Chains A and B, each alone.
Chain A
Amino acid sequence: MRGRLMFALVALVATRPAFAGDPTHPPSAPASPASPSPAPTPPAPTPAGPAPADSAPTEPSPLPEPGVEMGPDDGPASGEPEPTPPDDPDAPLHEDNEFGPVILIEEIDVTGNTATRTEIIRRALPIAAGEVLHSSDKRLREARFKVLALGFFRDVTLAIRKGSVRGQVIVEVHVVERGTLVLNRLWFGTTTLSPWWLGTDLGERNLLGLGIAVGGGFIYARQTADAAGARDQYAGELRLSIPSVRGTEWGVGGAATLVHGSEPFRVSGAPGDASAKTQRAFPYRRLGARLGATYDVSALTQLSMGVRAEAIDTTLPVAPARVLPDGRVVAVDLHLDPGQSRVVTASLSFDRDTRPDPILPHAGGHLLVSAELGNALLGSSYDYATFFGSYEHYWPLRGEHHAIAVKLAGGVVIGSAPRFDRIYIADVDRMLTPRALGLVLSTAAPLAILGTRADKPSYGDLGGSATVEYAVRLFRGSGKRRVYGGDAFAGVGLWGLAETADLRARDTGLAASLPIDLYADAGLRLDTDIGTFELTIANALGRLR
């Protein structure tokens, strides 16, 4: 077994999937108004076989039993309900045609918070003192979720009580706080290059009750001595962000990162030979910081902008080269300036996510595009630009019990981008070990399934993937046993990664030169109270090769 872990574990942020449709239109079938009556009737016997539908007119029907204790204000039914006159056309109705009394919010009273500042909660509410609205207003219905969305509370309840003047009310918001220290990630695994690695990422989402999120991660990776020049790697990162600055749509954040790495590159061997002896490594150190701002264009759409400054210190081989199987020696471009260099960039990204459930998605879509520019004008040693984008869309089938998804992702790097900003092969082939905090942990070659180009690059400036995935809902639960849902899924896709120069000239047939291949994945996703477990073929391969 070599101590290798035989399963993969991925934990995720999750919210409940949408279960109900949005019933915005009343049914239009013939009417038969229900008439409550106070007297329940005894249960009817249940026949063994199918029961015929009665053809006689209906008799007075029994009432469902409420199954609740009656409160002190409960009395007997007051006879026939009082019909209500048509709604006042001048009433300030909103888009979903609210009803009920019009109220003036005199005050919002927040209770139950001991660590979180009251102002943080008030800012999250979609209502404010002085507003006039129907008591069925959508904002009142959704206020609970706006506060829950802060992530600081286990439960939130709202209630209305009389204010000082008739028509005025006091809205009471009671919160139950929860722990906000969170485990974001676990890194672990074993490969030929790295006998073991271990790391974690922790965060505190509500520092001192101020609504400020801080976090950090650290990973240590043991390197094999078989790769010449390899050394143990470690990386750390510290983050701070304010998702909403003083309740506005603007947020700010920053991160500082240190990477003490050892970057492998192939110096010999056949394309499929991933042994460490075919690799050589060079040491590097990266010390950088990111600063950014976000703007919520809408509830589901966000614009981000940021700047990044990074110092790279590396000792490169004098003349890196690779001996090909036929004996030829070719130069290897490591895409880094020797010694010290700087990366300074400005970036812009756009994110729109309409998936009601990102963990077990069966509907909606997610679009993410980003551009980053590094230039000497900014003080960078590298002049380049990167453009990345991804889009995935889910179509529900069979009443959302099944779903089919199309996922597209790709990017292009223009100019002399540093090695670490280029597209890494595990970015596009999910069956390989992904980078963790920037560290390369495996030199495994991708599986050659299509028989296309055998010697695919580890880094490229043009890459992407296209996937079709089919998911089947296994179950959805209420979480009473800390399990919320599970899906089985299977997907297949094409991935490709190339150096632009390789595309301009080829010395083999077209099929044998295409830098694309197939990947497939299948497994089980479980959404639980402590995270989402992903047991998939690709995830396991990514931790073991």
Chain B
Amino acid sequence: MRAAIVAATLLAIAATAYAEDERPEIQRMRFVESGDDLQLSTLPPGGIGKLFDTTAYEALSTGIPSTVVIRIQITPQDSDEPVAEQLIQRSVVYDVWDEIYTLRLDQPGGRKTIKVKYRAEALKWLTAIDDLPVARLAVLPINQVFVLKMVVELNPVSKETLAEVRRWLSQGNGGGLDRGGAFFGSFVSVFYNPKIADADRVLRIRSQPFYRPTP
């Protein structure tokens, strides 16, 4: 009985957390055929601007770099197998002496560096998705319905850094008698669980279904 209550409670927490954190936000987006490419634009009130709350916005002026990573997948509506993928990285750093923002944009078309004067401008460059080529038209058959899935992360942490931090945190028991467990057991049992997020903030966005009409 006690086990059932505990299990039910944990599963309820898990289900609530899933509902809160994993469910993608549905946004209406604009898709345009241009040349050989499909281009994407976000539409108000959507977009990825909400990635920045007040704290993150003010952090743009600290002189410490901020990075936005956007991962885009296009999949058939009834499948999780992507037909096209895109990875975009945008970084900004503030020059405290010249009082300008330098941005490094890695996205379709290659890398470019720009400088802007105001923080709001820097934010716009970090979050704008306008006419962004996201797929070759050749991979999108006419009249087949697709959806676009987007995961946007603010200041993601590399796996190597996470592994390094985790290793430091998991040390400290000093080698007692439970030596066997270290070799044969799967886990070290510790309640101490300081969480270091894999990103300052994550947005999961999904577009409305779309298709290429017959020309």
Contacts and interface: CB of A to CB of B under 8 A. Distances in A.
A398 B6 contact: no
A19 B93 contact: no
A30 interface: yes
B14 A475 contact: yes
Given A62-B41, A71-B58, A53 B211 contact: yes
A69 B54 CA distance: 6
A530 interface: yes
Contacts of B113: 84, 87, 99
Contact of A12 (B128, B167, B176, B187): B187
A435 B10 CA distance: 28
Contacts of B69: 20, 23
A46 B161 contact: no
B17 interface: yes
A389 B172 CA distance: 20
For the residues of A in contact with B, the DSSP-based class is loop
Interface in B180-215: 180-199, 202, 208-213, 215
A36 B112 CA distance: 15
Contacts of B160: 22, 299-300, 354, 356
Contacts of A63: 44, 47, 49, 124, 128, 130
For the residues of B in contact with A, the DSSP-based class is mixed
A100 interface: yes
A55 B188 CA distance: 57
Given A19-B202, A63-B47, A532-B193, A353 B128 contact: no
A44 B159 contact: no
Contacts of A107: none
A255 B132 contact: no
A454 B70 CA distance: 57
A136 interface: yes
Interface string B50-83: 1011101111011111010101000001001000
A11 B193 contact: yes
Q: Which of A27, A140, A486 has the most chain B CB within a 10 Å cutoff?
A: A27
Nearest to B162: A356
B209 A49 contact: yes
Contacts, number: 539
Interface in A293-322: 294, 299-300, 302, 304, 306
Given A16-B162, A32-B131, A61-B30, A434 B102 contact: no
Interface stretch (A112-120, A153-161, A376-384): A153-161
Interface in B80-139: 80, 86-89, 91, 93-98, 102, 104, 106-121, 123-125, 127-134, 136
B17 A475 contact: yes
Interface string A7-36: 100111111111111110111111111111
Contact of A160 (B64, B175, B198): B64
Nearest to A528: B193
A464 to B, nearest CB: 8
Given A7-B6, A14-B193, A61-B30, A84 B102 contact: yes
Q: Which of A34, A74, A205, A353 has the most chain B CB within a 10 Å cutoff?
A: A34
B174 A213 contact: yes
Contact of B192 (A43, A49, A183, A527): A183
Given A32-B132, A58-B131, A66-B49, A292 B109 contact: no
Interface string B27-50: 010111111111101111111111
B156 interface: yes
A246 interface: no
Contacts of B13: 481-483, 526, 528
Contact of B44 (A62, A253, A255, A364): A62
Given A12-B191, A302-B167, A478-B20, 16 more contacts: A11-B193, A32-B34, A32-B39, A44-B30, A58-B34, A64-B128, A77-B116, A78-B118, A83-B114, A99-B113, A141-B155, A145-B196, A149-B168, A388-B183, A477-B21, A531-B190
17 contacts: A15-B162, A20-B151, A25-B87, A47-B208, A50-B211, A53-B33, A67-B53, A74-B120, A148-B194, A184-B189, A203-B172, A203-B192, A239-B174, A255-B174, A300-B160, A427-B180, A477-B18
